[in-house]
């Protein structure tokens, strides 16, 4: 069944770490694909899955850099993939399908944030393309392997930034409206949440469950496109942004900032926790199902957990990519 946006009281919280949520989890013989799995939160995720026994496949644009980052991570494999290039996505997915392996976990952790206006080769706005459309196409192309797992989970890494903007179905690619980088980012993160909801509806009958997550506020290389002034507003600098926490702003201590180990916890919990057995289609944070936004309990915006909007996004994604299930 698909559970409403109601917290489980999982026993975890904003300070919970990857090690804590993975305690007792055995993934021996399981196969995971982690986009963005060679840096930041994705690297933490890859390391934790490997430590639990999984084979971890990391698609990357820069294979040399990815292999260096993953040195020492057992059973890590790196293959080329560019989420802005539909042919590259198809080539990666077809290669995996030809391997004959089931896919037990697909964690869509790669992304870009607040970039200047750029477009993929189809003319689609780059944040919407990389953060959503590329992952949509990847999941659909990998569908046979997800089915083969007979119990797979897909995790879409969204963000609290989804509250900045809902999906503009009339002009998602900023062809008519003026481009604003934070609006574009917020739209792509809302799309991540809606994607998981629509995917879960299609996958439930095949044992494929999907979740979206807000990892928390974690300062990673995702902030590389921000100016010094923008970083200064977060209380950090370019020299100290990666993995840092501004003084007095630690999660659970009156602040919002998390370490990398804390930031990876929710995606890992969604990917592996037995507490979510039989559930799906929900937005999670702090290693629990998030509430719907209210003044007392910020969680997920209503537009990001709306089944009608999720179906509308799925149809738009089919239209824009030309890729469909079946």
Determine which one of 79, 124, 179, 185 is catalytic. 185
Task: Provide the strand spans (E) within the chain.
Answer: 31-35, 55-60, 76-80, 105-108, 152-157, 208-214, 283-285, 288-289
Partner residues linked to 32 by β-bridges: 56, 105
Q: Which 3 state secondary structure label does DSSP give 97?
A: helix
Here the tokens at position 137 are 């196409």
Q: Which 3 state secondary structure label does DSSP give 68?
A: helix
Instruction: List the alpha helices (DSSP H) in 129-275.
Output: 134-141, 143-148, 181-203, 228-233, 260-263, 265-272
Active site residue 185: yes
Helix, strand and coil content of the chain, in percent to the nearest 5, comes to: 40, 15, 45
The rounded Cα 272 to chain-centroid distance in angstroms is: 15
Q: By C-alpha distance, which of 215, 198, 207, 96 is closest to 153?
A: 207
Q: How far is CA 71 from CA 64, 131, 220, 233, in A?
A: 11, 26, 20, 35
Instruction: Give the helix/strand (H/E) hosting 313.
Output: helix 307-321
Q: Which 3 state secondary structure label does DSSP give 247?
A: coil
Q: By C-alpha distance, which of 302, 271, 304, 315 is closest to 193?
A: 304
List the catalytic residues.
185
């Amino acid at each position: 069944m698909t559970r409403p946006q109601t917290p489980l009281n999982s026993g975890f919280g904003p300070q919970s770490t990857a090690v804590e949520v993975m305690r007792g989890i055995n993934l021996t013989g399981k196969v995971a694909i982690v986009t963005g799995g060679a840096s930041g939160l994705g690297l933490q995720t890859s390391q934790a899955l490997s430590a639990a026994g999984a084979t971890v496949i990391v698609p990357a644009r820069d294979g040399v850099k990815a292999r260096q980052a993953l040195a020492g991570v057992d059973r890590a494999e790196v293959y080329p993939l560019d989420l802005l290039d539909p042919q590259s996505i198809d080539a990666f997915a077809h290669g995996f399908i030809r391997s004959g392996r089931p896919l037990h976990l697909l964690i869509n952790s790669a992304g870009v944030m607040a970039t200047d206006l750029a477009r993929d080769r189809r003319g689609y706005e780059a944040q919407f393309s990389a953060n959503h459309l590329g992952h949509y196409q990847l999941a659909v192309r990998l569908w046979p392997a997800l089915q083969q797992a007979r119990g797979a989970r897909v995790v879409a890494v969204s963000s609290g930034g989804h509250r900045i903007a809902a999906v503009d179905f009339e002009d998602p690619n900023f062809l008519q409206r003026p481009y604003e980088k934070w609006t574009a980012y917020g739209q792509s993160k809302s799309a991540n949440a809606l994607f998981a909801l629509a995917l879960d509806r299609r996958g439930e009958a095949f044992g494929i469950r999907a979740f979206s997550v807000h990892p928390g506020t974690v300062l990673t290389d995702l902030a590389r496109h921000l100016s010094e002034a923008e970083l200064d507003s977060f209380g950090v600098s370019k020299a100290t942004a990666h993995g840092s926490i501004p003084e007095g702003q630690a999660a659970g201590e009156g602040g919002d900032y998390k370490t990398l180990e804390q930031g990876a916890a929710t995606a890992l919990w969604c990917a592996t926790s037995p507490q979510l057995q039989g559930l799906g289609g929900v937005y999670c944070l702090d290693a629990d199902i998030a509430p719907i936004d209210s003044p007392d309990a910020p969680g997920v915006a209503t537009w990001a957990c709306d089944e009608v909007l999720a179906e509308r996004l799925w149809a738009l994604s089919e239209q824009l990519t030309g890729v469909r299930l079946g």
